[in-house]
Structures are given as C-alpha cells and as structure tokens.
Amino acid sequence: MKKITAKFLLGIFSVFLLINLCFCTSVSAKSHFVIKQIIPDSAGKLILVTGTGNQDVEFKTIKLSNPDRLVVDINNAMLLGSKKSININNEDIKDLRIAQFSSDPDIVRLVLTANTNDVLKKIKIRKNQNTILLDLNELKPTNIAETPLYKDREISEYSEENITAQKEILVNLDINKINTAKDPSEQEKEALIKSLQDKIDHNLVLKKVKHFGNRVIISGTGILSITEPMILENPKRLAFDIHDSTVKSSELLQPISLRNGDFLRIGQFDNNTVRIVIETPKPETYKTIISPDMQSLLIAPENEVSFLEFPDSDSIGEIRDIKIINQDKKTTKIVIISAKPLIHNLKHNNFADGLCLDFYNLKQPKKEVIYNLPRTGQFHGINFEGIERYPNGSRWLFPLNRTTKVQSKLSLDARVLEITLKDVMPVSSWRSNYKLGVVLDAGHGGQEPGAIRAGNYEKNITIDITQRVKTYLKQAGINVIMTREEDETVSLKQRAAITNTEDPDVFVSIHINSSENLGVRGLETYYYTPQSKALAQSVHAKMVNNINSPDRGIRTARFYVIRNTAVPAILAEVGYLSNDSERYSILTEERKDATARAIANGIINYLKSKKSR
C-alpha cells in the first residue's frame, strides 16, 4: 500500500512539475520578441524586421570600423530559423546579416556593413510595435539588374565538338542535312520542354519569334543574358547562347529562312541554355541588340537594323555622367549614365579592336568629359566614330588588354549601362625605372613556320632567342610582354594590337632571314618611323659587335608590325637560315645566347639614353 501511495504521489508531483514548466515556457515565450521576417523593399529604401510577442521591442546600436558597420542588438529576442545573409538593393550597403547572438540572455544581432562611416550616419532606426524599421532613404539605391546583359564566352563553350554534339531537341546545324534529318515528334518536343520548365526556375522564358525579311525579333518574359557571338566554319555560321533560359513551345524551334538566303535556328542546347545559330557566308555583318526592357533580342544584318518594335525606340539620349571605378588591380567598372533609355550593341574582338560599343540613340559626349576620365590597368581611354544611318548615335571604341574579359549590366530603367573589365591575370606591375617596359615579338609561330631549311623552322629558333632576350631584360629590372610564349599562331594585326594596348617603351620583333641566293649571310635591322631609328641603331650596333656575322646595315621597310605600332619599333633579322654555314652557327647555343645578349643590351642602352634626355 505504501509503495502504491508513493508512486501516486510521485506521479502527481511529475504532472505538477510538467505543468509548471509548460506554464513558465509559455510565459517566457510570450515575453520574447520572436523575429520571423527580415524584409528589404525592392527600392532599397527600407528594411523591416518583423515578429510577434513583446509589444515593446528594445534594442541598442553600436557603430564599428574596419569595416564600417552598424550593429543592432535586439534584446529579449529569438530568431526563427538559422542565421541569414540578405542582399540589399542599395549601392551604399555591402551586406546585411542577422543571427542569434546569445541565448542567455536572448539577443538577436543584426549587422549592416556599409561602404563608409558617413553612410552609417544617414541610417535611421525606428520601432513600431512588433517591427523595427531601418530607414535608408538618404542612401543611393542600386537599380542595376543582377543578370549580366552580355558576357564574354568561355573558349570551351564554342568548341566544334560542343557545337555539333547538340541535344536531340536542338535543330540540326548542318544545312545539308535539313531534308534528311528526322526531328522528334511534336509531342516528344513538348514533353521535353515541359520537363525542363518544371525542373528549373529560368531567368528567361522565350515565347515569341517574329520574322521580317532579314530581321528576327525573339521575345520572352524575364531578362536576356547573351554571350559574345562566335564565328564558326564548315558551314560558316554565327553562334551565341542565351543563358539561364528556355523556350515555351517547340514551335519556336523551327528553322527560319531569311530573305537573303541565310538560315536562323533556335535550339534548347541544354537545360539552361538556348542557342541561336545563323548560317551565313557573312557572319560578321550581323548585329545582336537587346531591347531597353531586356526582354527582346533583335538579330539583323548591320545595314537593316531597325528598332520600331522596341520601347522608347524614338528617344534620343544625352550623357549625364561617365564613371571609371577601379575596383582592384584586375577589375575596372565603366558606368555610363544617360538621360534616356539606351539602345546599344556590344562587341568584343580580342586583340584587334578591343571593345566596340554602338549606341544608336546616344550622341558622342563632349571631349572634356572624356579627357578627364582617369586611366586604370584595364581602361585606356575611348575613341569615337559615327554610325552610318544613325546621326543621333555614336560608336565607342575601347582598347583592351589581351587578358581582359567583358561583362555588361543594364539598369532596370535602361538609363545606366555598367561595363565590367576584368583581367584573367593581374595587370603587370612594371618594376623598372623606365616608362613601362618592352614588348618582344618572336617571329612566326603555330601555323606560320617562317623560313624552313634542312628541317629547321624559323619559328622555333625565334622563340628560343626571344625567351633568352626576355631573361636578360628581366635580370636588368625591365618588365617584358611577349606576343607569344609558345608555338602558337598570332596574326600580325594581333601583334600590333598587343603592343598598342600595353603601350611599352619599345617593340622588338626577332626573325631569321632567308634568300634564294644561298651565299648571302649577315645581320640586318629594320625600322619604319623616324622615332624608331635610334632604337634600331642601338640594337644593331650591339649585334654587329657581338655576333660573328657580316653587317648588312640598318634599313627602312614597311613590315606590318613596325608600321602599325605607336611606339618605337624595329625588326631584327639575326642571320640567314638559307646559308649553310650561318645556319649551323645560328643553331648553336653560343650563337643564340650571343644574339639574345646583344639585342637585350641594345634595348637597355636605348632605354638608358632615353631616360637621360
């Protein structure tokens, strides 16, 4: 009986204790401010921290530096869920984080990181029952779309294997197989497209394709993002991708025959990519232009571009501001602000022409605006041209580094264009006391072997000697840029463009000569512009004094690489491969090293004399 009574009393005590704990927990929960949501408004003007519970929310603020941030500690509060990091649509705010800072006492900490301490002073904090309001009204909202409007392609994206290995839903790219290829049934296409749409939340869904003669307009819902168009061979065609996109219906996958005989095809290349291919003998003549609302893409030959279907197609803009923002050694942003929505086309030609930006409704800015823009490792100035048939337009030409990749974004109102120039490798730090440095050009390379005698290729000898020259110059504290570092094909135009982009003190091209007259041997140095004569004299003198070969003199010539470079430029012929005795000498380590040392010393002497003037 005693045991039963003890068990009964123990049970009563346990129930009482459980009820008491539940009551205490309930009271405690009611006394807490339970944070359920952190809501930034889309305009970047306000942040709301909302919850339930305590009607009298208490908090304290602390301002910290390195980095500049505002800390808001909310007392007697609990965060529903885990810690969060929230994007704020405001260019003055870097990020916003919230987390349960402690559990005894219960404190939720909100940390807002700003660009400067002055930004923190402009933030106002208020409370309204179960809500804390952070007022950012005095700060600058960001209205640049997060999705890139344009970005450079990755080389691997457009390999021939990738182009031909299309998914079955992609229309066959070979024009000769149009009549023989069997497309999947409409039901299969629709099922596949629906499965893609069900699996992925795409940034853009393409819904309409309109065809007017040689003009095609592709429209959808969302924001377009295209890659740099690529010209491919066999058959000749222009190809580019629309990333993070899908087509709404298989009807959009039908090939389009243009009035000029070209073919345009749209294909769902993979789950996230729509690929556009134009088969044409003149791919370089086509323009791809995104509408100001970023929902339509115009594809047309350059002489047939028209924007009647675009919103704000008749507006004429003027420059409000141009900003050059040097983010770090590898990255520069160019921000172009217009009074009206912009209609533009962006084209990046590596090496040769840099970045070409066509504004069809924006006139060239005043010269003083451009002259005052700061230069950076990626931004080297702007040249301007007119656009035929568009008197209110302008063409902007940006010389770029070889390694620069381009990406652009457009504001939601289409008035602000943000172009990011980012080098794959950091811009060289020119360590010498001279202006910049030296561009060395090893003649020929890749598919251009140069002179060939007895199984010996000029391209292999020139890269060997040029690498040795580079070593000697670097030992002297001079930075060196090579037009090629290995056996690769680099066009003459590319070599000149590399030099003009890097803007060195001098350009030196190294070659081995050849002649039908097998008895000819000796050293020759060529220049074209008067400013290059002193460099030619300095290098040639060192070669003649240090290489056992006849002096054939300094001459002028119209070689492309020395005629199209803006800096002092020479071309050195360091012997004749066609002469048996000189060929044997050129191939020896002693001769190659003596040649490299002579050229390097000639360059160094020239730079020293230039510095002392």
Q: Residue 144 falls within a domain, yes or no? A: no
pLDDT at 168: 29
The pTM (predicted TM-score) of the whole model is 0.47
Residues 509 and 469 in one domain: yes
Q: Supply the range of the domain harboring residue 272.
A: 154-178+199-304
Q: What is the mean pLDDT of the chain?
A: 80
Q: Which of 125-129, 259-263, 481-485 has the lowest mean pLDDT?
A: 125-129
| The pLDDT of residue 374 is above 70 | yes
Radius of gyration of the chain (CA): 34
Q: Kindly indicate the confidence band of residue 232, based on its pLDDT and cuts at 50, 70 and 90.
A: confident
More confident residue, 15 or 506: 506
Residues 229 and 258 in one domain: yes
d(CA 34, CA 51): 5
pLDDT at 200: 44
More confident residue, 567 or 26: 567
Residues 47 and 13 in one domain: no
pLDDT at 515: 94
Residues 529 and 595 in one domain: yes
Peptide bond into 235 cis (omega under 30): yes
Q: Residue 583 falls within a domain, yes or no? A: yes
Q: Which of 107-111, 221-225, 387-391, 565-569 has the lowest mean pLDDT?
A: 221-225
Residues 94 and 160 in one domain: no
Asked if residues 66 and 51 have their Cβ atoms less than 8 Å apart, the reply is no
pLDDT at 351: 37
What 3-state class would DSSP assign to 330? coil
Task: Specify the long-range contacts of residues 120-128, CB closer than 8 Å, at least 24 apart.
Answer: 120/63, 120/68, 120/69, 120/70, 123/70, 125/59, 125/61, 125/72, 127/57, 127/59
Domain boundary among 271, 304, 337: 304
What's the gap between Cα 359 and its chain centre? Answer: 19
Domain boundary among 423, 457, 472: 423
d(CA 272, CA 420): 24
pLDDT at 17: 46
More confident residue, 74 or 131: 74
DSSP per-residue letters across 123-164: -EEEEETTEEEEE-TTS-B--B-SS-SEEPPPGGGG-HHHHH
**Residues 294-299: what's their mean pLDDT?**
87
Query: pLDDT of 316-358, one tens digit each?
Result: 778 888 999 988 888 999 999 888 888 888 887 543 457 889 9
d(CA 166, CA 397): 35
| The pLDDT of residue 513 is above 90 | yes
What 3-state class would DSSP assign to 404? strand
Residues 454 and 601 in one domain: yes
3-state helix, strand, coil in the chain (%, to 5): 25, 40, 35
pLDDT at 349: 58
Residues 379 and 403 in one domain: yes
**Residues 305-309: what's their mean pLDDT?**
78
DSSP per-residue letters across 335-380: EEEESS---EEEEEETTTTEEEEEESSBPPPPHHHHHTSPP-SS--
Residues 381 and 267 in one domain: no
Q: Kindly indicate the confidence band of residue 44, based on its pLDDT and cuts at 50, 70 and 90.
A: low
What's the gap between Cα 593 and its chain centre? Answer: 40
More confident residue, 469 or 477: 469
Domain of 451: which CATH number? 3.40.630.40
Q: Residue 38 falls within a domain, yes or no? A: yes
**Residues 587-599: what's their mean pLDDT?**
96
Q: Which of 185-189, 411-415, 416-420 has the lowest mean pLDDT?
A: 185-189
d(CA 119, CA 140): 10
| The pLDDT of residue 263 is above 80 | yes
pLDDT at 352: 44
More confident residue, 15 or 358: 358
| The pLDDT of residue 5 is above 70 | no
Read off φ and ψ for residue 116, nearest 5 degrees: -145, 165
d(CA 511, CA 516): 17
